[in-house]
A and B are shown apart, each in its own frame.
Chain A
């Protein structure tokens, strides 16, 4: 069965304290892995797409990496405005559907 597992469920960091969020997956025929940010009461905001192991993408304080079994979202020197739920999702070769993980709720303390 295709699965996407994110850890930790929740993470509290001090402002400036770097960390990483994990997304592990077991799927057949991975086509792409996505990272989204979701603020309370809003739809997910697209951050990155990763297609192959070894690929990395960066945007401001965020960097996403991909291996054959997992992806990491690294947050460097986070600020309070980085507080949100970060969702990992992926799509397989067989169709256009996206499977979401349960997300990591990140809270950055000032």
Chain B
């Protein structure tokens, strides 16, 4: 099956600093990747859709200047949380769809736990 990786798996940062999270599709190319966040015991909430070579599309209520997304290649998307605050602490998960497979399912990375102190 399609494999998606994320780095780092966990990160602790101080309030006011920025953090970058990488999402890679390891064995397929992904023109579109997705970024989610998940709070404890809640389901996944889509933050934005990342399109290779173009601007990301953000969901309503997600601050695009705070959550910067870059999709520079067909296998890599990055999410940068700028000027992080404690309320940004969450579990961030990326996903990608393997277009070559013909299916519509998304394959998810293992997630990144962000703690802002």
The distance in angstroms between the C-alpha atoms of A101 and B43, with both chains bound, is 7
Interface secondary structure of B, over-half rule: strand
The answer to whether A49 and B44 touch across the interface, beta carbons within 8 angstroms, is no
Given that A43-B93, A46-B1, A49-B103 are contacting pairs, would A87 and B110 also be in contact in the complex, using a CB cutoff of 8 Å?
no
Q: Interface digits, A25-63 against B, CB 8 Å rule (1 contact, 0 not)?
A: 000000110101000011111100100000000000000
The answer to whether B43 and A49 touch across the interface, beta carbons within 8 angstroms, is no
The distance in angstroms between the C-alpha atoms of A100 and B106, with both chains bound, is 12
How many A-B residue contacts, CB cutoff 8 Å?
Answer: 53
Interface size counted on chain A using CB atoms at 8 A? 20
A96 on the interface (CB 8 Å rule)?
A: yes
Interface size counted on chain B using CB atoms at 8 A? 24
The answer to whether A49 and B105 touch across the interface, beta carbons within 8 angstroms, is yes
Mark B residues whose CB is within 8 Å of A: 1, 4, 6, 32, 34, 42-44, 46, 49, 91, 93, 95, 97, 103-111, 113
